[in-house]
């Protein structure tokens, strides 16, 4: 009953507890898409500045690993 009262609170915006647990996982799995777009934009703008592109590439690899781990945990 306490959970229902909390979910009805205006601060919860009528969202269930489950949605608060799932939304961060969805964000984590979308981060590689965002970083990939950033990397492609960076490659277009910073031709010849490989350090920045390499750093973003490593970040993308890490995010792919995190995303894979999250998918394994949700299965």
The predicted pLDDT at position 30 comes to: 80
First to last CA, the chain: 29
Tell me the three-class secondary structure of 31-46, residue by residue.
Answer: HHHHHHHHHHHHHHHC
pLDDT per position as a tens digit, 40-72: 777 776 665 667 677 777 887 887 888 777 777
Identify the residue with better confidence: 28 or 62: 62
Average pLDDT over residues 14-18: 82
């Amino acid at each position: 009953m306490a959970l229902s009262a909390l979910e009805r609170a205006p601060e919860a915006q009528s969202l269930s507890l489950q949605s608060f647990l799932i939304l961060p996982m969805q964000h984590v799995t979308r981060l590689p898409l965002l970083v990939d777009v950033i990397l492609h934009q960076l490659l277009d703008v910073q031709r010849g500045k490989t350090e920045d592109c390499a750093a973003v590439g490593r970040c993308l690899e890490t995010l792919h690993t995190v995303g894979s781990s999250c998918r394994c945990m949700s299965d």
